[in-house]
Amino acid sequence: MKFKYLIAALFMGAALTNCDVDQTREAELPEVDVDVTTEAGQMPAFDVDWAEVETRMETRTIEVPKVRVVMEEETIEVPVIDVDWPDDAGEREERTFMVEADVDRDADLDIKSIFTNGNRIIVVAELDKDGDVLSDGEMMRVSDQVIVNSPDMDVRYYIVGDRPDGEFNRRYTYIKNMSDIKDMMKDGKVIYES
């Protein structure tokens, strides 16, 4: 019986080693008579002072993007690709494959090809940033899209070109040229080329 209380006290002591602990009452084990009568004992009591956490507000100067988006309706030509998928590919639906990039200069972003290797659709675009630099701090979003009737498959997006600065541009994988993904394209079937 004494052994169980000793073990319990050791575990409590180990659990509270990361705190400032002040004991407020001594432990007392029960007294046991040989004729199996016992007196109640008591567990030790503790006051625990946990680590103090302070939260405050400070004024700091950071760069915050200010985006002004003007949505205008335009009638444009969008490629719509009907693919005769194998019967075991699953149910098909019209899906829009879109690539976007935030750039600090006039640029073009065009989807160059879409192909499949059986279990995945790979969308490859090209970013051409040869235009004039925008005014200080301005950014422009460029995009392209293609609509394909396809089954629900994993889609990977690659953009040929240098990744522009900015957190938004981490959504896609940027590559130097098509040879970076040649293993993925091996035995692939092209379903769109511009």
For the segment 74-97, what is each residue's pLDDT rounded down to a tens digit?
Answer: 888 888 888 888 888 888 899 999
**Residues 120 and 182 placed together within one structural domain of the fold:** yes
Task: Name which of 142, 174, 135 is nearest 158 in CA terms.
Answer: 174
Q: Are residues 45 and 105 in the same domain?
A: no
pLDDT attached to residue 19: 59
pLDDT of 23 reads: 75
| CB-facing half-sphere around the CA of 21: CA atoms within 13 A | 13
Token pair, residue 108, equals 């073009």
- DSSP 8-class letter at 130: -
Question: Which tens digit of pLDDT belongs to each residue from 127-169?
Answer: 998 888 888 878 888 999 999 998 888 999 999 999 988 888 8
Q: How far is CA 167 from CA 108, 138, 141, in A?
A: 19, 15, 13
pLDDT (0 to 100) of residue 31: 73
Who wins on pLDDT, 87 or 121? 121
User: Is residue 39 located within the same domain as residue 92?
Assistant: no
Do 43 and 97 have their domain in common? no
Q: Is the separation of the CB atoms in 14 and 35 below 8 Å?
A: no
Give the mean pLDDT of the chain. 81
pLDDT at 69: 64
| Residues 44 and 86 occupy one common structural domain | no
* Domain extent at residue 44: 2-49
Domain assignment present for 116: yes
Residue 110 inside a domain? The answer is yes
Report pLDDT digits (tens) over 140-149.
889 999 999 9
Least confident range from 10-14, 67-71, 94-98: namely 10-14
Q: Are strands 140-151 and 92-103 parallel, antiparallel or unpaired?
A: antiparallel
pTM confidence score: 0.61
Is pLDDT above 80 for 8?
no
Residue 61 lies in a domain: no
pLDDT band at 172 (very low <50, low <70, confident <90, very high): very high
89 and 27 co-located in one domain: no
Assess whether 42 and 107 both reside in one domain: no
Distance CA 107, CA 138 (A): 13
| Residues 98 and 189 occupy one common structural domain | yes
> Distance (Å, rounded) from C-alpha 94 to C-alpha 82?
9
Does residue 66 sit within a domain? no
More confident residue, 70 or 59: 59
Number of domains composing the chain: 2
Instruction: Say what the pLDDT of residue 9 is.
Output: 60
